[in-house]
Amino acid sequence: MNRKILFYMALGCFVFFHHPSLGAGVSLGLTPALEASPEIDPKDSVFIPADDPHIRYSGRFDFSNPKAPRFDWPAVSISAVFQGTAIGILLNDGLNDYDAYIDGNLQKVIVTDSATQYTVGGLRPGTHTLLLVKRTEASFGIAAFKGLLLQKGMSLSKPPSPPSRRIEFVGDSLACGAEVEDSDTSCEPSHFRPTANGGLAYGPLAARALGAEYRVTSYSGTGILKKFGAAKLPMPGYYPRVLAGQETPVIDPQQWVPDAVVVELGGNDFFSDTPPPSWEEFEDAYNQFITRLRTDYPEAHLYCLTFGTSTPVGKFIQEVVDREKKAGDSKVRLMDVDYPAAHLTGCYKHFDLMGQKQVANEVMKALRVDMRWEELKSK
């Protein structure tokens, strides 16, 4: 089967995933959704509240109000198995965009505005899987999910069990999928929203290929010590937050324990107009963050990703890893990845889709070997 086919984790079952950016001419073995459909009439529909047990959430969500969970991190997702030819998604947003997949096919890009209901329709009668993935990153703002609307007489079905494998990706704009769908080098502020896609960053791409649930705890402009652009804090300040945009609530590390954590940080510490940190400052801060992760996840494999070790940041990270190994932590590893210099795009020279796929492939190979995970294969 064509290698451009990626496998998506929809509700814990393996479903072919197709996004137009992944390339044309790819046969998915799925029946594509039909075009256009009438809106669901809120007055003649079935309301499914956000706390329905058949709705699955993946990523960091604030459930302080279970009827309207809030979220802002990139690539968080909401999924459900439903009956009917259309489904309504209730959002309080106006700042973020979403990819809405039906049965593994990208059916609609939802660009939120002042509306609170967004309908995905034109489906054949029967049972379907909705997967809603947040494209934009946390800096665009906090959103709230208010539930689903189904056609009269329709209902949700129990979803399959979630994947047993878990990976967290902690990083900066590269891990957020910033400008991944950009085709030029525009620096107009308005271009950043439509060109971002967290679901096409290297982390989700690698996780899907390995059949793993993932979290993207990443924020553009963050470093270990410094911040750049929209970032108000370095990553150690953001990491404990359920919502990147608010200090509270904070995460309970035991509620979702990853098997592996991939840390891609350091570039922004040396990419600004301010003087870079010293060797001692950077290594001390990086080591403290690794210690925090080890405290939260005593058994997890911790990967320190760097694009080569010839640069100052690469050398510093390698030294931190060597120090951890000498101290007896054999599960802290260096993940040295080739920089996709031929696949850069956008105002800030972020990775385009081919660049993200190149990095994802290397990440996937490293995890597959160390974690003894087989890549998800088609039949």
Q: How far apart are CA 245 and CA 225, in angstroms?
A: 18
pLDDT means per 10 residues, the chain with 379 residues, are 34 47 38 46 91 98 98 98 97 98 96 96 96 98 98 95 95 96 85 95 97 97 93 97 98 98 95 84 97 98 95 94 96 96 91 96 96 70
The predicted model scores a pTM of 0.90
Under a CB-based contact definition with an 8 Å cutoff, are residues 37 and 45 in contact? no
In the chain, the domains with their CATH numbers are: 29-157 (2.60.120.260), 165-370 (3.40.50.1110)
3-class secondary structure, 296: helix
- pLDDT value of residue 188: 87
What one-letter code names the amino acid at 86? A
CA-based nearest residue to 160, from 254, 305, 54: 54
Under a CB-based contact definition with an 8 Å cutoff, are residues 58 and 199 in contact? no
Under a CB-based contact definition with an 8 Å cutoff, are residues 8 and 15 in contact? yes
- pLDDT value of residue 185: 78
- pLDDT value of residue 3: 31
Q: How far apart are CA 357 and CA 82, in angstroms?
A: 31
What is each CA distance from 94 to 70, 115, 146, 158, in whole angstroms? 13, 8, 14, 30
Q: Which two tokens stand for residue 36?
A: 């256009």
